[in-house]
Amino acid sequence: MSSYEIDGIGATRSGRNGGGDPYYTDGKALIGVLRRNEAD
């Protein structure tokens, strides 16, 4: 597995999701890449 980080929407301390629940973020997205072992 490999992973990397990309810039997202930017830092948010007062966000609300679709259900109205509060959230906060540093604005970055962590991407994980899974690969199937072709030998199996």
So what's the pLDDT on residue 28? 81
The pLDDT score that the predictor gives to residue 12 is: 79
User: What DSSP character marks residue 20?
Assistant: S
Please tell me the predicted confidence (pLDDT) of residue 20: 92
Residue-level pLDDT at 4: 72
Residues 1, 21: Cα–Cα separation, whole Å: 32
pTM of structure: 0.43
Q: What pLDDT, on a 0 to 100 scale, did the predictor assign at position 40?
A: 60
CA-based radius of gyration for the chain? 15
Q: Pairing relation of β-strands 22-25 and 12-16?
A: antiparallel
**For 1-40, what is each residue's pLDDT tens digit?**
677 777 766 777 888 889 999 988 888 878 888 888 777 6
